[in-house]
Structure 1
Amino acid sequence: MRFSLYTEMQLHEGKTPEQLYGEVLEQIQNADRLGYDCYASVEHFFFPKFSISTNPTALFAAAAQRTQRIRFRTMLHALPYHNPTVLASAIAATDILTGGRYEWGVGRGHGWIPEKAGVPLDEHARPRYEEAVDLLFAALGNERFSYSGKYYEVADSHIVPFPQHKFRIFLGGTSDRTYELAAEHGWGVAVPPLLPYKALEQQLDLYRDRCAEHGNEPDIVWIHACHLDPDRETALREARDWVTKFIYGNSSPLLEYEKPAADDLNKAGYGFYAAGIMEQLAEVPFEQLVDEDYVWVGTPDDIVERIEETRQICPGISEIGITVNAGGAPHWMAIKNQELFASEVMPRVPEVVPVGAAKAA
C-alpha cells in the first residue's frame, strides 16, 4: 500500500499566492522526511478558491531540489489546454528535473474551464480529447512519430528530450469513458477527493470489469480530505472550518461565476456539471460530510477504520491519498495532519490484498 498527499492549492481569504506556494513547498519537504510515497497536485486554471495550481511541473521541479525520495504527480494534466506534443516534451523535461521521480495523468479538466480558456464546448470535445491522448502517447512512446487524425496532423516529428523509461499513468474524472479508457490501457485511476464510494460505485465496477477483460490489474488511488487528532472532539472542532471551505471551494466555479449553459455542457460530455451535484454538495452540513464518508475526520483509530471499510467495498485500491491543506487550512494544521497520519495510521494499514482474493472474499 502506497500513501500520498494531494493538494488543489485552494486560495481562500487570508493568504497570498506567495504564502500558499511557500507553505506547500515546506509541506512537500516534510512529507519526504515522513516517508510518504508521492505528492500530487491538480492542474487547474481561472478559479482561485478551487485552485491556483496552474503549473505543477514548475512546483515539482522546485520541490525536487529540497527532497530526496518522494515522487511527484500531476493529477491531472488538463489536456484540452495543451498541445499534446509540446506537453510530451514538458513531461520529459520535468522527469529530468525531478531526478526520475515524476508521475502524471491526463484528463479533460472541469467543465467550467473551457469557456474561460476560449475552448469551444461542443460535440467535438470528447473525440478531440481522445485523439489528443493518442497523439501524446505516440510522442512519448516513439523516438520518431507521425500522426494523422481528424484534429491533429503531424509528419515525422520527435520530442526532445526523449524519456528514457516508462511512466506510471493515471486518468481521473466522473464519466464512464474515462474508466473504460484507463482499463483498456492498463492505467490507474484517481478517485475525485470529495465523493463517497457510492457516488462512483458504477464507474469503479466498470473499471475493474474492463481491467479483467483486457488482462490488466486495477490501480486505484483513493483520495479523501483528512483531519486527525488523538481526541475526536478536537479533530471535529479543528476540521469544521477548513473542510467546509474545501467543499465550497470545489463548488465555487458554479456558485460564484456565471455557469456554462446546460445544453453546452451536456453536448460536450460534461453532464455531471449540469446536474446540480456540486451546488448541492456545498449545502451538505459538516456533520453529514463526516458521517457519510465524504471526508475522514477523527482519531487515528477512526481513520484506520474508515480506510479498511473503504478497502473492503472497493477492491483494487493500491494507494491512499489524503488532502490536508485545502480550504485555507493553517500551515501548522496541515503539518500536524501529515505527522499524525504518517506516525499513527500508515504503519497500521496492511498491505494490499490481491484483487482476485478480495473479490473471492
Structure 2
Amino acid sequence: MSGGFSLGFLSRVYRTEYNPRVYRETLELFEAAEALGFDSGWVAQHHFASEQGRLPSPLVLLSAIAQRTRRIGLGTGIIVLPQEPALRLAEDAAVLDLLSNGRLELGLGAGFDPDTFNAFGLAHEQRHRDYENNLQRLQTALGNGPLNHDGLRLQPQVPGLGGRLWEATSRVELVAARGNGLIMAPNPHLPAQAGVELVQRYRDAWTGDNGTPARIARVQGVFPLAHTPGLREDIQRYLARQKSIGVYQGPLDGDFDDILQRLGVLHGAPAAIVEGLGSGPQLGRHDHLIVQVQSASTPLGDAIRALQIIAEEVAPALGWRPAVARTAKEFSLS
C-alpha cells in the first residue's frame, strides 16, 4: 500500500440485542475518531436488524453526528438504494450535506438480503434493475438536472455532492463510466489477489470525463487488540446467517484463524496487520482505507482503543498522516 491515502472507519452499528445506547455510543465513537485524526467515518444501513445491524436510517444518525463533530467526513457504507425513493434520498442527503458543511460521502449498493426486500414489497431478483433506475434518478437530482417536464429541480441544491457518490459492486466498469468511487472489500469466495485485480479493472476503465478522480474505498476488518471479546461467536453467528440466505458458501467450522483469513479479517499485533494491509490493493491520495474494528459484542472502549492503535501504530507505518494535527484537544483514553 502506498502512502498519502485517507483513513476512515466503518461502524455497522452492531449489537447482539437492541438498546438505544448503541446510537449514543456511535456518536462517541465518531468524536473519538475525529480527535485521533481519522479523515472519515462510515455507517452501514441494516433493516430489521439484519446481521444484527441496528441502523435502518443512516442519514438521521449522521445528522446527529454532524452536530457533534467539525471535520471528519461522514459516509454511508452502504445505503441499500433499491429500497429507497431516489428523490427523497436526494433531499435528505442534500440537507445533511449542508448541515455538515459538505462532509457527506454517499455510498450505495444493491443489497442482498431477500427477507428485507420481501418486507419492502420488492422483488429481490429485480434489485439490480431497481438499483440502476434509482441511481439514474438520484444522479440527475444531485446534478441539478430537470426532474419533470416543467424543469423542476432539487431543492436545496448541493453543488459537489454528485461528485461524492460511491458504489459497492463488482461491476466496476459501470462505476468508472459513471465517475463514481468504488467501495470494495475482501470476497470470501475469491483469493486475496482478486481484490487487487478488481481495483486495477476499475482504474483501467476510468475516463475522468466528469472531472472527479478515480477513488477507492478499501474496507477491511481489523482487530488489533490481543483479546477481542465475543469475536469468534459473532463471526460464527454472522456466517450462519449469511449461509442461510445463500450469500456465503464456505465452511462454518474449522480453524478460526483460517476463517478470519478467508474473510479478509486481520487480527493480531500491529506489525502483522501492517503486513496484511500492505499486501492488498495500492492506495493513493484520493483513496480511503476504511477499517472495521467492531463486531456485535465489541465494547465501546475496545473499539476506541483499536482505533487509537490503528491511528498511532498501523496507518502511519503505511504512509498515512493525519490532515489535522492533534493539538489543543489532545485525545486520551479515560
TM-score, normalisation: structure 1? 0.77
How big is the shift at 1:36? Answer: 0.2
How big is the shift at 1:156? Answer: 2.9
In the alignment, which residue of structure 2 is the partner of 1:296?
A: 266
Identify which of 89, 105, 108 aligns with 1:106.
108
CA separation in 2, counterparts of 1:164 and 1:20?
A: 33
Unaligned runs of 5+ in 1: 148-153, 230-234, 260-273, 353-361
Identify which of 304, 310, 332 aligns with 2:301.
332
Residues 46 and 55 in structure 2, CA contact (< 8 A), matched pair in contact too: yes
Relative to structure 1, the CA distance from residue 39 to residue 315 in structure 2 (aligned partners, 3 Å threshold; closer, same or farther) is: closer
Identify which of 162, 171, 181 aligns with 2:174.
181
Identify which of 1, 6, 10 aligns with 1:2.
6
**Matched residue count:** 312
Identify which of 221, 236, 256 aligns with 1:286.
256
The residue identity in structure 2 corresponding to 1:319 is H
How big is the shift at 1:23? Answer: 1.5
Relative to structure 1, the CA distance from residue 194 to residue 342 in structure 2 (aligned partners, 3 Å threshold; closer, same or farther) is: farther
Identify which of 118, 121, 128 aligns with 1:118.
121
Relative to structure 1, the CA distance from residue 53 to residue 246 in structure 2 (aligned partners, 3 Å threshold; closer, same or farther) is: farther
How big is the shift at 1:249? Answer: 2.5
Secondary structure at the residue paired with 1:106?
Answer: strand
How big is the shift at 1:155? Answer: 5.2
Relative to structure 1, the CA distance from residue 319 to residue 350 in structure 2 (aligned partners, 3 Å threshold; closer, same or farther) is: same
How big is the shift at 1:115? Answer: 1.3
Residues 11 and 48 in structure 1, CA contact (< 8 A), matched pair in contact too: no
Q: CA RMSD in A?
A: 2.9
CA separation in 2, counterparts of 1:53 and 1:59?
A: 8
CA separation in 1, counterparts of 2:58 and 2:202?
A: 27
How big is the shift at 1:158? Answer: 2.0
In the alignment, which residue of structure 1 is the partner of 2:330?
A: none
In the alignment, which residue of structure 1 is the partner of 2:155?
A: 160
CA separation in 2, counterparts of 1:99 and 1:38?
A: 14
Identify which of 126, 129, 134 aligns with 1:127.
129
Identify which of 147, 152, 167 aligns with 1:171.
167
Residues 225 and 296 in structure 1, CA contact (< 8 A), matched pair in contact too: yes
Relative to structure 1, the CA distance from residue 204 to residue 164 in structure 2 (aligned partners, 3 Å threshold; closer, same or farther) is: closer
The residue identity in structure 1 corresponding to 2:178 is H
The residue identity in structure 1 corresponding to 2:123 is P
How big is the shift at 1:198? Answer: 4.0
Unaligned runs of 5+ in 2: 322-334
The residue identity in structure 2 corresponding to 1:318 is D
How big is the shift at 1:288? Answer: 0.8
How big is the shift at 1:43? Answer: 1.5
Secondary structure at the residue paired with 1:75?
Answer: strand
How big is the shift at 1:165? Answer: 2.8
TM-score, normalisation: structure 2? 0.82
In the alignment, which residue of structure 1 is the partner of 2:325?
A: none
Q: Percent identity?
A: 24
CA separation in 2, counterparts of 1:281 and 1:99?
A: 46
Quick check: which one's helix share is greater? 1
Residues 81 and 134 in structure 2, CA contact (< 8 A), matched pair in contact too: yes
In the alignment, which residue of structure 1 is the partner of 2:328?
A: none
How big is the shift at 1:293? Answer: 6.5
How big is the shift at 1:342? Answer: 0.9
Once the two structures are superposed, residues 316-355 of structure 1 have per-residue CA deviations (whole angstroms, 9 ceiling, x without a partner) of 9822111112221112211110111111122221269xxx
List aligned pairs for 1:1-361, cutoff 5 A. Answer: 1-13=5-17, 16-112=18-114, 113-122=116-125, 124-142=126-144, 145-146=146-147, 156-166=151-161, 167-173=163-169, 175=170, 177=171, 179-192=172-185, 195=188, 197-198=192-193, 200=195, 203-211=198-206, 218-229=214-225, 235=226, 238-239=227-228, 241-242=230-231, 244-246=233-235, 248-249=237-238, 252=241, 254-255=243-244, 259=245, 274=246, 277-280=247-250, 282-283=252-253, 285-292=255-262, 294-311=264-281, 318-350=287-319
Residues 188 and 220 in structure 1, CA contact (< 8 A), matched pair in contact too: yes
Higher RCO, 1 vs 2 (CA within 8 Å, ≥6 residues apart): 2
CA separation in 1, counterparts of 2:180 and 2:251?
A: 29
Once the two structures are superposed, residues 202-236 of structure 1 have per-residue CA deviations (whole angstroms, 9 ceiling, x without a partner) of 5434323322697985422111111114xxxxx2x
Relative to structure 1, the CA distance from residue 317 to residue 297 in structure 2 (aligned partners, 3 Å threshold; closer, same or farther) is: farther
CA separation in 1, counterparts of 2:231 and 2:166?
A: 28
Relative to structure 1, the CA distance from residue 97 to residue 183 in structure 2 (aligned partners, 3 Å threshold; closer, same or farther) is: same
Relative to structure 1, the CA distance from residue 315 to residue 5 in structure 2 (aligned partners, 3 Å threshold; closer, same or farther) is: closer
CA separation in 2, counterparts of 1:170 and 1:247?
A: 29
The residue identity in structure 2 corresponding to 1:305 is E
